[in-house]
Amino acid sequence: MSSTNRSGTFALGNRSVKRLGYGAMRLAGPGVFGPPRDHGAALAVLREAIAGGVNHIDTSDFYGPHVTNKLIREALAPYPDDLVIVTKISCRRGEDGAWIPAFSPEELTQAVHDNLRNLGLESLDAVNLRSMFDAHHPAEGSIEAPLTVLAELQQQGLVRQIGLSNVTPAQIAEGRRICEIVCVQNHYNLAHRADDALIDQLASDGIAYVPYFPLGGFSPLQSSTLSTVAARLGATPMQVALAWLLRRSPNILLIPGTASVAHLRENLAAADCALPDDTIEELDGVARDGAN
């Protein structure tokens, strides 16, 4: 059995995916802008992910822009039957790489068509509407208008399932009154645990929670406690951080990103990292004490 299989599975709407997936954001150039430094290496990472048992890939057409989706199509099409590709919309990139809200009906519709074209699909497996009231943190504001547009595109058959990203509990509740929400993608990791209560609520409702920056994002997790535990278990700190997330709740789906085949293999091996109960208590202290 591969490490990925040992991570278990959870429902992403009407699809079952392995809990260890892959996030394609880092395949784009510096700042998630422009082409990759090594085109061939990017293709190799995607193919290795599938070879390693991954069947859940997270992407977006505003990565690059258009870069990661084209790489995914080049590397993996025709796609395996069990592969679920989840993308997101509501943002566009400026010529300087800026992240610009793109919430109008026309922009959202164009984004769905761009994703379809660049991925080479007739219907998108799942699309996350990313709230952009604050580009970096959840911020209150109604998502009814843009989510209604996405729900209409779902009714047209262009989108199969809908999720939300960078959202508050109030926005999730508002969204669930408009359409079925199959996943929520927010910032969460060992040191950043603002969504603890939300994760538990979503788990009770059977909704997947997909933490972005599970390893800290552009500023990787740094914790003496994490390093000490990893050394004791004979694992890397990042493997321990991922293993902690797998233990945290059964509805958590992981999408760690990398542009390195070696790092990808390390990430997927996190499912083999068994964390004793006393270690869990030790790691829980990282958020209380602050990563250091």
Q: Which residues are catalytic?
A: 63
Strand segments, DSSP code E, in 19-166 are 22-23, 56-58, 84-89, 91-93, 99-101, 124-130, 159-165
Report which of 159, 179, 161, 148 is spatially closest to residue 115, judged by C-alpha positions.
159
- Please report how the helices 39-51 and 261-268 are oriented relative to each other, as an axis angle in degrees rounded to 10: 20
Give the 3-state secondary structure of residue 206: coil
Q: What CA–CA distance (Å, rounded) separates 62 from 25?
A: 9
| Distances 65 to 23, 34, 61, 166, 253 between C-alpha atoms, Å | 15, 7, 6, 19, 25
| Distances 170 to 71, 86, 176, 194, 209 between C-alpha atoms, Å | 36, 23, 10, 15, 16
Report which of 188, 10, 175, 9 is spatially closest to residue 90, judged by C-alpha positions.
175
Give the 3-state secondary structure of residue 26: helix
